[in-house]
Amino acid sequence: MGTVQWSARTAETVVLGTGGVLLALAALTLDTAGRVLVGAAGALLLALALRDVLLRPRLSADPGGVVVRTLSGRTRLPWPGLRVRLRSTRRLGVRSRLLELDTAAGPDDDGTLVLLGRRDLGTDPAAVAQALEAMRPG
């Protein structure tokens, strides 16, 4: 079996970048307070779009394990010792799901903990958890 990858959806990244540019241009026409607020919003959207581009693919899996890309580099999590779970929470009436990847072997082992949401993966974390478990050797 080959490598499977997940990333933020390209359309969302394009929308974020476009929105950031439009807000930055709009900020040029506003008074000082508006420039600061709208300019900051534009910069935030551009930063999120850039993050999506730099962290592509965000998660990949192959027979050797899982690789997670972060701003500080890549982290390889080998299959032995890797726990894949789906974490569901409900706050203010909104349900969210996160993919949890954990390598801690016990209470004295910090291991590596990675939490990825729908935005990071470009799809439902439950589907990714299911795909990862199907790829797990043995």
Handedness of CA 119, 124, 130, 131 (dihedral sign): negative
Peptide linkage before 63 cis (omega within 30 of 0): no
Enter the tokens of residue 93.
């009436």
**What are the tens digits of pLDDT across the range 50-81?**
999 999 999 999 999 999 999 999 999 999 98
DSSP string, 21-81: HHHHHHHTTS-HHHHHHHHHHHHHHHHHHHHHHHT-SSEEEETTEEEEEETTEEEEEESTT
Contact 99, 84 (CB under 8 A): yes
What is the distance between the alpha carbons of residues 27 and 12, in angstroms, rounded to a whole number?
A: 22
**What are the tens digits of pLDDT across the range 87-127?**
998 999 989 999 999 998 777 777 889 999 999 999 999 99
Residues 6+ apart with CB under 8 A from 18: none
pLDDT confidence of residue 1 = 62
